[in-house]
Copies of this chain bind each other. A is one copy, B any other.
Amino acid sequence: MSSEAKRRIGLIQMRMSDDPNANLEKAIRRLREAAERGAEVICLPELFQTRYFCQTEDAARFDLAEAVPGPTTEHLEAVAAELDVVVIASLFEQRARGLFHNTAAVIDCGAGYIGKYRKMHIPDDPLYYEKFYFTPGDLGFRAWNTSWGNFGVLICWDQWYPEAARLTALQGADILFYPTAIGWHPGEKAELGEVQREAWITTQRAHAIANGCYVVSVNRLGFEPTDPADSEAESAGRGIEFWGSSFVAAPDGSIVVQAPTDKEGVLVVEVELGAIDTARTGWPFLRDRRVDAYEGLTERFLDQE
């Protein structure tokens, strides 16, 4: 029983500019700030080095990709070692010529780069044209024993799949991290915005409850134009307004801390790993899973005719 263990988690909710170097420098400044405030494990938003380029399908954007491990993970290895933290860094991975993934690297203060998760569920809907850019992950769902505990990493669209949370938690992850890039279509926000944001929070709180673990979701923030050259994009609503709202959910589903929809910021919060034991023994869901009856989950649909 690890009932006495505490972990201090850092969430970096940030806006991105057009300049990848500036974004990386800003991310590192925020990592320093989080570490100074005691964070041990720090998560950056999805694809934090760039604007969310998936708003259009443009082969020129593949130039933004890099090897993982590669230059950015090397850079972050030095930062993680200096700050004595684990960093979860979402990167645009080039695996081979013409083969790309949406990947999160796990960088440990002690061991350096210890592995990567390649986003398994790839979205594709208006302004989120990720299927053009990213091959679905082929490393499966993963958790890592780091210097600061056992964590799993999933990415954005994975949030909507209870299967992904379950398969990661079943590997012993005490905390599920979700680097994220989700926002409103400005034209829909008035009518649907709050229901959409609430659904996004609800589905992740439910992963915490079903698995009796912590969930940490870290989103980007602010308006990004579909066309970077469109100077009237924001007033005309041609783009995505990323809704921030980064949060930590406890194993009982309660929200431990949440960032606003409209401000950048570094959240640092202490979580008690003993709450995982309390949740899982109070309402012992893992005990009663009907693993003898779940084989249909590997089917697309259970057609009745």
Contact = CB atoms under 8 A, between A and B. Distances in A.
A125 B199 contact: no
Contacts of A291: 297-300
Contacts of A21: none
A154 to B, nearest CB: 12
Contact of A210 (B162, B167, B209): B162
Interface in A168-220: 170-172, 195-196, 198-199, 202-203, 205-207, 209-210
Contacts of A125: 282-284
A294 B290 CA distance: 15
Interface in A134-191: 136, 140-141, 143, 145, 157, 160-164, 166-167, 170-172
Interface stretch (A115-123, A225-233, A239-247): A115-123
Nearest to A279: B199
A4 interface: no
A302 interface: yes
A71 interface: no
Number of copies: 2
Contacts of A209: 160, 199, 202-203
A254 to B, nearest CB: 5
Contacts of A295: 298
B170 A203 contact: no
Tier of interface size on chain A: 35 or more
Interface of A: 120-123, 125, 136, 140-141, 143, 145, 157, 160-164, 166-167, 170-172, 195-196, 198-199, 202-203, 205-207, 209-210, 252-254, 282-286, 288-302, 304
27 contacts: A122-B288, A125-B284, A136-B290, A140-B293, A141-B293, A160-B285, A161-B289, A162-B162, A162-B163, A162-B206, A163-B166, A163-B289, A163-B294, A166-B297, A167-B294, A170-B296, A170-B302, A172-B302, A195-B252, A196-B252, A199-B253, A202-B206, A202-B209, A203-B253, A291-B298, A292-B298, A295-B298
Sorted from nearest, which 3 A-B pairs have the closest CB atoms? A206-B206, A162-B162, A199-B253
